[in-house]
Amino acid sequence: MDKQLELLQGTLDMLILKAVSLGSLHGYGILLRIQQISKDRLEIQQGSLYPALYRLEHQGWIASEWGESENNRKAKYYRLTTAGKRRLQAETENWNRMADVIAGILRTTPEEV
Amino acid sequence: MSWWTRIRSWSHATIRRGRVEREMDAELRFHVESYTEDLILSGVPEAEAMRRARLEFGGLEQTKEVCREARGTNLVESLTQDVRFGLRLMRKSPGFTAVAVVTLALGIGANTMVFSVVNALLLRPLPVERPNELAFVENTHFGPGQSFPNYKDLRDHNRTFAGLIGYRIAPMEMKSDGGAQRVWGYLATGNYFEVLGVQPVLGRFFTQSEDLNPGASPYAVLSYNAWRSRFGADKAIVGKTIRLNRLPYTVLGVAPADFHGTERFYWPEVWVPMMMQPRIESNSWLDNRHDWNTWVIGRLKANISQAQAEADLNAIAVELAHEYPDVNDRLHFSLAKPGLIGNMVGGPTKAFAFGVLILAALVLLAACTNLASMLAARAVDRQRELAIRLAIGAGRGRVVRQVLIETLMVSFLGGGIGYALASFLSKALSHWRAPMDFPVQFNVNPDWRVFVFALLVSTAASAMFGSAPAWRASRTDANLVLKGNPPTWLVGRLNFRDILVVVQVALCFVLVAGCLISLRGLQQALRLNLGFEPQHVAVAAFDLGLAGYSPERGRAFQQQALQAIQQLPGVQSAAYSNSVPLSIDQSTTDVSPADKTELRPSDNIEAVYYQVSPGFFATMGTRLLAGREFTWHDDEKSQQVAIVNLAFARRVLHSDNAFDAVGKRFRGGPLGPLTEVIGIVEDGKYQSLTESQQPAIFWSVLQFYNSSTTIEVKSVLPGTQITAEIRRTVAQLDPGLPLYGTGGLEQMLGFAFFPSHAAAIALSAFGVLAIILAGTGIHGLVAYSVSRCTHEIGIRMALGARSVQVLHLVLGKTAALLLVGSIVGLILAVAMGQMMASIVYQAQPHDPWVMLAVLLTVALLGLSACWSPARRAARVDPIVALRYE
């Protein structure tokens, strides 16, 4: 297994929004989905997931309801709200721009300056 | 909100909170269990899987706490939690809670009580329309009164007042179903009610047009209380006739219940138009510019400042001084807040109120210091609890808030009880009438201002004593505490609690000093040479003018009454006069030496005067220094004579020797040109206890009649018996004549001693409070340190220390603290002495005996507070003490 990357400050919220935008999930499912998409290259503190979920729900970007899990147990499912969709879009654009800028800076060679 | 809704909303919140908590728990457990199952599926043994799942998830409780905060809605919830926790703590240590609450209740109660009096006397607006527009017009250089002609000139020529009223406090004889009684009322100009903007509860008030010609407006307005108590709240009273001074007056209406005129301490029973003055009082002064009997209040026009109004009035003053130079010389007006007769009563009242407020604040400070040291002691014990809470995931902010809420709860509980206590006392005080023949009464019932004050004081108190424990809680280092060596809490090298004890002892010292200084001042004031001996003298007063007697008939009646009373068994001597020194009724006149020929008004010397019968000085116990007393021959047919006091001889007659003064003459006074002095008596106090030595004149009542009569009787009989005898004797001569002010002369002087008495009572209460607070504070400290040191004491005793050495150990530090506190207190008390002296008459700010007494009190207090804990320390059994851990 490759060495895991530590999550950048403030990116967990974005990843959660993305994960639930693909379909509603319970907390554990969100963790699994992020690990699956990232091919286990990100290290996520399991405990830190829930305060983030509660915060996002309090801000109105995700909503929750109780449902039945794959193994027939009661679980709390989260889905993206309309406001959450807009938020995800804005954050994604923001992130891409930031990534371009940073990447551009890091690519710079002495001749280009 | 009704009780039912309250209970419902509370239970909803509780149920919902329970659900949210359960859901959070289920969600987190689901996560951990799902992860465990996945781990097992991937081949990890079950026990190992469970361990790893838990480990990787992190602290469950910590996560929950962060989630609760993230959810954002938990402020109310966690506050409820804090309050419930606080309640549990309070129940767990009832002793501590009780002491804290009682301490605060006393401190806050004292402050609230003082504030409600200050509120009633100075802050609460008068119950009239737009009270802040009203201003009392007083003379800048002398007393509060104006002459009635001057009032009329001011009223008619000013350009800055919407209205100017003139009024005067006046006693009158009122006849109702209960018989004739002397009551106190107001003479008021016709515009009085209109300018003040008061509405009657029954009938109507008199108006300007009903107050134009002397004697032509026999109308009366009753106060609400008089209507209820004297006329049985008779709804049909309007239009009925009542008798004032035995003449008929028509009742026009009844004033509202909360309206007692414009003086805050005086509750009149009746208002009569000013033009009836000649019928109400025996001599008419409505056209006399020499009698300064009228008080004046004006309502400023809109947008007129006080300075503009004063300038306007003083422009008129210049004209009046020009027109009537003999009386209006140096006339100058200034405006004061209405309610306390301008600055005459208002000035001293403000100074006194300020002083007492400072003392009350000091008591509260002492109470807070007490609590702070108690809490500091407790905080050491609670360190472990706080550390555990921090370790299992409570945020620091949360812990600090918890501690603050605890102190706030104690504070509000104490404040609530204090407020209840204070409002109970103020209600009692509002019903209380000073024991004197004058309707002094205050409405000190608490209003919203008092409530807000109590609330603010409670909050401030909890901030004062709660901030230190909260600060300490915020700095708790969980690791250090739980490892078992809590950091000692040092400020420099002195313990914080030690500093509190020093502060407390100093405060106690100051308060006890204030209390003793005032009590000693009062004691000295009581032993002051009054110029007469009130012991064993009974007095009774009646007014023949109010009862309709002509001067001739009055004169005869006075002598008849005196003769009858002199015949009573047990009477040693008796006399009569218009008034007695230090009663409310005092008159002054201007006199000048006989040798002055060219007189300017400023050469006049003011003297107090009395009209007395033969035997007056013997009865009153006033020493005659030279010359002779009056005889029954000093009447209208003989030469005009007077007896004066030593101060008069010195200032007017320029004789330092009493014998030189006899036979000299002086000019002026109400009787006219020249009066010969036939006797000199000792100096005394006449208008107030605090006055400097004043010249006084005693005229022969046979030459200078006054219908107002006070009979003085010196007898061996007990006071109540002799007053009953006097009453019976006078009733035989005129059954309808109301007597007032009957009783022992000492009690009658209550008016003069009232301020000192009130001050002494208030200050003593504060002193006692301070002693209680300091006592419990010191006791608490020593008891606590002994209990903390039991182990150490045990070791020392096991190693051979004797009881004396242990006592030395325990008491040494306390004694040092007491000493330091006393020194600080002594410095403060000396600095504050001047203020004390201004509050209490005769108080010596630097009386060494008082300071010594305070020092002894504080030392005794310290010793007795230390006694039981010190004994406990000395009796520590080393075996028990060492087994203790």
Between strands B219-222 and B247-254, the pairing is: parallel
- Per-residue confidence (pLDDT) for residue B434, from 0 to 100: 64
Q: How far is B26 from chain A (nearest CA, A)?
A: 8
- Per-residue confidence (pLDDT) for residue B603, from 0 to 100: 65
Domain boundaries, chain A: 5-112
Least confident of A45-54, B370-379, B659-668, B732-741: B370-379
Contact B27 A50 (CB under 8 A): yes
Please give the residue that has the higher pLDDT: either B389 or B883: B389
pLDDT in tens, B768-812: 887 887 777 777 777 777 766 777 777 777 887 777 777 777 777
- Per-residue confidence (pLDDT) for residue B11, from 0 to 100: 57
Q: What is the full DSSP assignment across B254-284?
A: E--TT---S-TTB--SEEEEGGGHHHHSSS-
Model confidence, pTM = 0.65
B422/B458 Cα distance (integer angstroms): 14
Contact A27 B70 (CB under 8 A): no
Q: How far is B8 from chain A (nearest CA, A)?
A: 26
Each residue of B265-287: b (16+ CB within 10 Å) or e? bbbbbbbbbbbbbebbbbeebbe
Helix or strand or coil: residue B226? helix
Q: How far is A35 from chain B (nearest CA, A)?
A: 13
Please give the residue that has the higher pLDDT: either B156 or B352: B156
pLDDT in tens, B572-609: 999 999 888 887 777 777 787 776 655 555 567 788 88
Which residues in chain A are closer than 8 Å to B35, comparing Cβ atoms?
A: 28, 46
pLDDT in tens, B274-299: 888 877 776 677 887 777 788 888 88
- Per-residue confidence (pLDDT) for residue B617, from 0 to 100: 92
**Phi, psi angle pair for B860, to nearest 5°:** -60, -45
Each residue of B116-141: b (16+ CB within 10 Å) or e? bbbbbbbebebebeebebbbbbbbee
Instruction: List, in sequence order, the alpha helices (H) in B392-538.
Output: 396-431, 448-474, 478-482, 496-527
Contact A54 B73 (CB under 8 A): no
Residue B550: beta bridge partners?
none
CB B726 within 8 A of CB B538: yes
Between strands B179-188 and B161-176, the pairing is: antiparallel
For B666, the token pair is 């002086």
| pLDDT at residue B348 greater than cutoff 60 | yes
B712/B538 Cα distance (integer angstroms): 6
- Per-residue confidence (pLDDT) for residue B437, from 0 to 100: 64
| pLDDT at residue B698 greater than cutoff 90 | yes
Rg of chain A taking only CA atoms, in angstroms: 17
Q: Does residue B28 belong to the interface with chain A, where contact is any CB pair within 8 Å?
A: yes
Question: Which residue, among B788, B786, B783, B781, has the nearest Cα to B806 in the 3D structure?
Answer: B786
Cα B199 off chain centre by: 31
Q: How far is A84 from chain B (nearest CA, A)?
A: 17
Count other Cβ atoms within 10 Å, centred on residue A5. Answer: 10
Contact A71 B57 (CB under 8 A): no
Highest average pLDDT, of B17-26, B415-424, B468-477, comes from B415-424
**Closest-CA residue of chain A to B64:** A51
Average pLDDT over residues B514-542: 78
Which residues in chain A are closer than 8 Å to B69, comparing Cβ atoms?
A: 51
CA distances from B266 to B223, B437, B447, B737 (A): 12, 12, 20, 25
pLDDT band at B478 (very low <50, low <70, confident <90, very high): low
Q: Does residue B52 belong to the interface with chain A, where contact is any CB pair within 8 Å?
A: no
Count other Cβ atoms within 10 Å, centred on residue B212. Answer: 11
Question: Residues in chain A, how many?
Answer: 113
CA distances from A99 to A35, A42, B263 (A): 21, 17, 82
| pLDDT at residue B487 greater than cutoff 50 | no
Count other Cβ atoms within 10 Å, centred on residue B686. Answer: 25
The segments of chain A whose pLDDT lies below 50 read 1
Which residues in chain A are closer than 8 Å to B72, comparing Cβ atoms?
A: 55, 58
Domain boundaries, chain B: 3-73, 74-124+346-487, 131-338, 513-526+749-885, 537-747
Helix or strand or coil: residue B689? coil
- Per-residue confidence (pLDDT) for residue B672, from 0 to 100: 67
- Closest to B70 (Cβ–Cβ): which among A51, A66, A71? A51
Burial of B832 (0-12, 13-18, 19+ CB in 10 A): buried
Q: Which of B34, B35, B56, B73 to probe by mutation at the A interface, max A CB count within 10 Å?
A: B34
**Which chain A residues touch B if contact means CB-CB below 8 Å?**
26-28, 31, 45-48, 50-52, 54-55, 57-58, 66, 69, 71, 73-76
Question: Which residue, among B577, B528, B572, has the nearest Cα to B682 in the 3D structure?
Answer: B528
Q: What is the full DSSP assignment across B134-147?
A: EEEEEESSS-S-B-
**Closest-CA residue of chain B to A48:** B63
CB B685 within 8 A of CB B531: yes
Contact B71 A58 (CB under 8 A): yes
- Per-residue confidence (pLDDT) for residue B436, from 0 to 100: 62
**Closest-CA residue of chain B to A30:** B31
> What stretch of H or E contains B537?
strand B537-543
Question: Which residue, among B602, B704, B593, has the nearest Cα to B648 in the 3D structure?
Answer: B593
Contact B34 A71 (CB under 8 A): yes
Per-residue three-class SS string for B351-395:
HHHHHHHHHHHHHHHHHHHHHHHHHHHHHHHHHHHHHHHHHCCCC
Please give the residue that has the higher pLDDT: either B719 or B334: B334
Vertex B812, ends B810 and B818: CA angle to 5°? 110
- Per-residue confidence (pLDDT) for residue B598, from 0 to 100: 56
Question: Which residue, among B137, B143, B140, has the nearest Cα to B166 in the 3D structure?
Answer: B137
Least confident of B203-217, B275-289, B488-502, B803-817: B488-502
Close Cβ partners of B571 (under 8 Å, ≥ 6 residues apart):
B565, B713, B714, B715, B717, B722
**Closest-CA residue of chain A to B52:** A46
For A36, the token pair is 């699956």
* Sheet strands side by side (includes A74-80): A25-26, A74-80, A62-68
DSSP letter, residue A4: P
Q: Reduced to 3 DSSP states, what percent helix, strand and coil does chain B have, rounded to the nearest 5?
A: 55, 15, 30
Least confident of B1-5, B353-357, B390-394, B689-693: B1-5
Contact B56 A46 (CB under 8 A): yes
CB B368 within 8 A of CB B410: no
Please give the residue that has the higher pLDDT: either B244 or B878: B244
B180/B174 Cα distance (integer angstroms): 6
Q: Which of A50, A58, A59, A76 to probe by mutation at the B interface, max B CB count within 10 Å?
A: A50
- Closest to A54 (Cβ–Cβ): which among B30, B34, B71? B71
| pLDDT at residue B660 greater than cutoff 70 | yes
- Per-residue confidence (pLDDT) for residue B488, from 0 to 100: 46
- Per-residue confidence (pLDDT) for residue B576, from 0 to 100: 93
Please give the residue that has the higher pLDDT: either B103 or B142: B103
Cα A74 off chain centre by: 23
pLDDT in tens, B419-452: 898 888 888 877 776 666 667 777 777 788 888 8
B778/B784 Cα distance (integer angstroms): 10
Size of interface A-B (CB pairs under 8 A): 58
B169/B627 Cα distance (integer angstroms): 39
**Closest-CA residue of chain B to A76:** B27
CB B685 within 8 A of CB B691: yes
**Closest-CA residue of chain B to A54:** B71
Q: Does residue B63 belong to the interface with chain A, where contact is any CB pair within 8 Å?
A: yes
Q: Which of B25, B31, B33 to probe by mutation at the A interface, max A CB count within 10 Å?
A: B31
B392/B303 Cα distance (integer angstroms): 66
- Per-residue confidence (pLDDT) for residue B755, from 0 to 100: 67
| pLDDT at residue B398 greater than cutoff 80 | no
Pick the CATH number of A5-112 from 2.40.50.100, 1.20.140.10, 1.10.10.10, 3.40.50.970: 1.10.10.10
How many CA atoms lie less than 13 Å away from B722 in the CB half-sphere? 28
Contact B59 A48 (CB under 8 A): no
B695/B608 Cα distance (integer angstroms): 6
Q: How far is A27 from chain B (nearest CA, A)?
A: 7
B248/B189 Cα distance (integer angstroms): 19
Q: How far is A12 from chain B (nearest CA, A)?
A: 15
B867/B786 Cα distance (integer angstroms): 12
Average pLDDT over residues B61-89: 73
Which residues in chain A are closer than 8 Å to B26, comparing Cβ atoms?
A: 74, 76
- Per-residue confidence (pLDDT) for residue B712, from 0 to 100: 92
Q: What is the largest CA-CA distance in chain B?
A: 138
Residue A25: beta bridge partners?
A78
CB A5 within 8 A of CB A43: yes
DSSP letter, residue A2: P
Look over chain B and give the mean of its residue pLDDT values, rounded to a whole number.
80
Between strands B641-645 and B674-681, the pairing is: parallel
- Per-residue confidence (pLDDT) for residue B839, from 0 to 100: 58
**Closest-CA residue of chain B to A74:** B30
**Closest-CA residue of chain B to A57:** B71
